[in-house]
Chains A and B, each alone.
Chain A
Amino acid sequence: MAFRYRLELLAVVAVLAFCILFLYASSTMMDAAFAGSDTLGSMQIAEMTGKAEEEFSPLIWQWAPPSGEIESGLFAIQAAIGGIMVGWVFGYWKGQKKRTVE
């Protein structure tokens, strides 16, 4: 198989296609709010049961991020934890491999 970076190329194409699809969707659907699908699900349930969304409350009390900013920050922390783990391990493997080659 001649080309070494087939998968890399495929990944770039897939991500680009995803971005283009998003731009297309957001320009043709003016009313699209890009809310979370779970928000839409909640609205659907509220509609089906005839109860207001606010009437549904968690069975066990839970803390909610006071604002969207804080929430996005916490999500970023989650991604960072994952990123650090992945980066650390790949670095560790790379170093291990280098040592065995030497």
Chain B
Amino acid sequence: MEGFLPLQWCLVWWIIALPCLIFGIYQLEKVIKADREVLPLLGVTGGFIFILSSLKLPSVTGSCSHPTGTGLSAICFGPWITSVICAIVLLFQSLFLAHGGLSVLGANIVSMGIVGPLAGYAVYRALRNTRVNMYLTVFLVCALADLFTYFTTSLELALAYPAEVGGIMSSFILFMGIFAITQVPLAIVEGVVLALVFKYIVQLKPDLLLRLKVFPEEKILNARSEA
């Protein structure tokens, strides 16, 4: 939302976003140098961020919002590389679509590219080595990465515009009502769809997932023998 974030907050979010991006670019270089075969996987996960973040879907609240698609990339490459891909998508949207802007780009990178994927990644790390079904893990990661993106957007706005009565907390709840509730059904659909995409990746390129140690070997092999 261009223009709605005061200058000092734009700067704060940019300052948080930049080191993450630089670290992400460094990691990206390392991963690609180590194994050229990961490039197609990067294409798929990045491609879904492009597709899903351009789809504005109607929701139960009578307003529209779009999913983020960042969960898949967070699982395969971690949150920092995901931030770099998000930054590219968000730059495209702010240059050509007036969807976000250059001044609020930092804030958008923090919510969509950093906090969302980071929350998803935390869930993934927690469930990776447990007996929880692999596809269920992917579903949870994607849905939560999506939801946390909008939690963060709400928080960013609440910090900039605390309510006169009740301060930051009450305006956070207000913005959550606008952004997060709209997002719940979208996040569920996104999670299911990306879990399905992950199934196809497992079927076509299990060796790549094994090399990147995305999931333990027996989980991937089990999933393959099931299909």
Determine how close the nearest CB of chain A comes to the CB of B136; give it in whole angstroms.
10
Q: Which of B10, B153, B226 contacts A59 (CB 8 A)?
A: B10
Q: Which of B39-74 contact A (CB under 8 A)?
A: 40-41, 43-44, 46-65
Q: Does A52 contact B (CB under 8 A)?
A: no
Give A63 to B185 CA distance when docked, in angstroms.
32
User: Which of B21-29, B113-121, B191-199 sits within the interface?
Assistant: B191-199
Give A59 to B106 CA distance when docked, in angstroms.
13
- On chain B, the residues within 8 Å of A45 by CB distance are 4, 157, 161
**Given A82-B54, A83-B47, A86-B48, A59-B7 contact (CB < 8 Å):** yes
- Tell me the count of chain B residues lying within 8 A, CB to CB, of chain A: 68
Q: Chain B 1-36 against A: per-residue CB contact (8 Å), 1 yes, 0 no?
A: 111100100100000000000000000000000000
Give A48 to B50 CA distance when docked, in angstroms.
33
- On chain B, the residues within 8 Å of A89 by CB distance are 40-41, 43-44, 47
Give 24 CB contacts A-B under 8 Å: A7-B199, A8-B196, A14-B188, A15-B192, A18-B185, A29-B62, A35-B63, A36-B56, A37-B63, A38-B65, A40-B178, A41-B157, A48-B161, A57-B2, A59-B3, A59-B101, A60-B103, A62-B2, A75-B54, A78-B97, A82-B51, A82-B52, A86-B47, A86-B51
Given contacts A8-B196, A34-B64, A58-B2, 11 further A-B contacts (CB under 8 A): A21-B60, A36-B56, A37-B61, A37-B178, A37-B179, A48-B171, A65-B98, A75-B97, A78-B50, A78-B97, A82-B52
Which residues of A approach B to under 8 Å, CB–CB? Answer: 1, 4, 7-8, 10-11, 14-15, 18, 21-22, 25-26, 29, 31-42, 44-45, 48-49, 56-60, 62-65, 71, 74-76, 78-79, 81-86, 88-90, 92-94, 97
